[in-house]
Amino acid sequence: MPSRRELANAIRALSMDAVQRAKSGHPGAPMGMADIAEVLWNDFLRHNPGNPQWCNRDRFVLSNGHGSMLQYALLHLTGYGLTIGDLQQFRQLHSKTPGHPEFGYTLGVETTTGPLGQGLANSVGMAIAEKVLGAQFNRPGHAIVDHYTYVFLGDGCLMEGISHEACSLAGTLGLGKLIAVYDDNGISIDGKVAGWFTDDTPGRFEAYGWHVIREIDGHDAEAVKAAFEQARSVADRPTLICAKTIIGFGAPNVCGTHGVHGAPLGDDEIRATREFLDWPHPPFHIPEAIYAGWDAHESGARWEREWDEIFADYKRAHPELARTFERRIRGDLPGSWQSLARELVQQADEQRRTVATRKASQMALNGFGQHLPELIGGSADLTESNNTWWDDCTAVSRQDGDGNYIYYGVREFGMSAIVNGIALHGGFVPYAGTFLVFSDYARNAVRMAALMKIRSIFVYTHDSIGLGEDGPTHQPIEHLATLRLIPNISLWRPCDAVETVVAWQAALERRTGPTCLSLSRQNLPHQPREPGQLEQIRRGGYVLRDAGPEPQAIIIATGSEVALAVDAQERLAAEGYRVRVVSMPSVDTFLAQNVAYRESVLPSAITARLAIEAAVPDSWLRFVGPQGRILGLSAFGESAPGPDVYQQFGLTVDQAIETVRNLL
């Protein structure tokens, strides 16, 4: 039987060989953390290579994702179907081994990491999901949700501010099944971190309320094993294991230096490393005895069989709960979903309420939420402003995980990455809110949700200069345009309560990426519609008001500016102008429609077009063309009542009327 060090050396060899072949990559962290990874994956991690999606598996997150070859080597050695050929294609086009781990590309990768600190925050979300799902479904004698979340992280993860946001909340919530391993190697790209990172990291995490295990020799397998055992014995707090390692361990001439952090070792150093590690095998060759020491198929199948037996007993004792659990794990909405959605849309249309769309959003949550136990919400200290709390919400706390609402505090970035972790875990549809202007704080986590194609929902209220007196620091100008620029983001900016219900329906149904809901602070009037128009809202853009079979001009608007467009159309009609109003709550959804539908809404023959949105105008150029006009904003806002700010910037009915007249 190979020794622990020999098993760990397989990681080191594969990592240095793959980076060398690619002429690019980061061999230092995989070589430094190999001993820790060997202990975790062989002694503690419950997983099944034969079924990587087994719902009660332990989650493993590599937050220091630049060390991706550590994860790829582990997945290959334990039997996830990642071949030697895949490792030889490290960092190559269309390979299963991209430069940083990417969710959806490689079986066994739980989340996309690389932007430092976000994997750590994702792991907090996964641990929250485990805690809440267990509280909702576990019953005496039937623990069907019972797993750990393990995360590896480095100095860079801890320097990023998101680590404070996420880990502070993790301590507050007492996430005892979250175990983090800090690779304390003292090196980053620029050299020894002592010149710019001298935090008392153990003290910092103790202040968060974490259980901290200090000064573990990361190359002493028995010490590492004892640390994991101690961490697992503490049930009421997350644990940070501070492991001292040597970056690039085994490379005799460059280990412990920044030279091994992010560059191939080179042929000479690889030869020296093979000699130092007593690893005489050629590149990418792993002896059968080493494979046998790593193979997790038998243990994984056993763990899943044992869980299957537990779940079978649970299913007999609690059949309705079991059916709901299975549905939620699949990510399916209830069978009655479509009829429920139609009913809520119809109800909103019949009520004809003048209401802020942030309030309409809360009304939609009250309608949908009572039928969707998988909804878990939250806000970054703006619950009453975002209206993200609905009637059946209960808060998740340290003492009680049986809730569906998280008070995130002022942690927009951490909140958004945690939402991603909850979505990745499964069993939930998470949403969370802040002001649209503060999406800037959260931007990279929103981008990661789009990259991973996961169902995260971001509720952004106070979405224009209409919020008024808080002024330009809080008035979003460029945010709608920049969110629309992120691939695979779906953004909805509804104009009234009806469109808001449809926006929520679209967000809840969308399983291929995140949705951003842009909602008003100020009240917006109900827009009367014909029955057929209710169905067309789901297409992202539709004719809200028409002017007969031959319109002379088109006004396109979103959100709070739709009412302005309708008022302008009515006054223009009194003057004899035939103007169509198109409401376009979701640009991306409209652009995904077929050409015939888009042409029916925006006939190419009508070149007199005006777009109105209280934001930078750039994203509307494609719709109005060279002969059209845009009423928008090219400057920051002002502090004043909302109507006065609209007047100041020319976003008025009079200005819209004058512009259409000039176009005609």
Annotated binding site for Mg(2+), which residues? Answer: 155, 185, 187
Residues in the chain: 664
3-class secondary structure, 34: helix
Q: Phi and psi at residue 469, in whole multiples of 5°? A: -65, -25
Q: CB count, 10 Å around CB of 607? A: 14
State the pairing for strand pair 211-217/239-244. parallel
CA dihedral over 191, 197, 201, 203, signed as positive or negative: positive
> How is residue 465 written in tokens?
């200069």
Whether the CB-CB separation of 584 and 449 falls below 8 Å is answered with no
Q: Quick one: how far is CA 350 from the chain centroid?
A: 35
Alpha carbon distance 439, 306 (integer Å): 44
H/E element, 485:
helix 479-485
**Residue that the structure tokens 């959003």 belong to:** 361
Sequence-distant (≥ 6) Cβ neighbours of residue 23 within 8 angstroms: 264
Helix (H, G, I), strand (E, B) or coil at 581: strand
Q: Please report, for the chain, how many H helices and E strands are present, in that order.
A: 27, 20
Which of 160, 412, 499, 561 is catalytic? The answer is 412
Burial pattern 453-465, b for ≥16 Cβ within 10 A else e, equals ebbbbbbbbbbbb
Among 398, 429, 417, residue whose Cα is nearest residue 170: 398
Interatomic CA distance for residues 379 and 487, integer angstroms: 25
Q: Distance between CA 654 and CA 437 in Å, rounded? A: 28
How many whole angstroms separate alpha carbon 445 and alpha carbon 453?
12
Task: Let me know the angle formed at the C-alpha of 12 by 9 and 14, rounded to the nearest 5 degrees.
Answer: 110
Contact 185, 220 (CB under 8 A): no
Report DSSP letters for 537-557, one per residue: GGGS-EEEE--SSS-SEEEEE
Q: Which residues are annotated as a binding site?
A: 26, 66, 114-116, 155-156, 185, 187, 261, 358, 385, 438, 462, 470, 474, 521
Of 69, 60, 5, the C-alpha closest to 262 is: 69
* Catalytic annotation present for 412: yes
Relative to beta strand 239-244, strand 542-545 is: unpaired
H-type helices in 352-382, by residue range? 357-369
Is 101:70 a contact under the CB 8 Å cutoff?
no
SS (H, E, C) 564-613: HHHHHHHHHHHCCCCEEEEECCCHHHHHCCCHHHHHHHCCCCCCCEEEEC
Cα–Cα dist 278/263, whole Å: 23
Element (H, E) at 230: helix 221-232
Residue ranges at the known binding site for thiamine diphosphate: 66, 114-116, 156, 185, 261, 438
Nearest to 515 by CA among 584, 553, 458, 449: 458
Residue 23: name the closest of 263, 275, 238 by CA.
Answer: 263
Catalytic residue ranges? 412
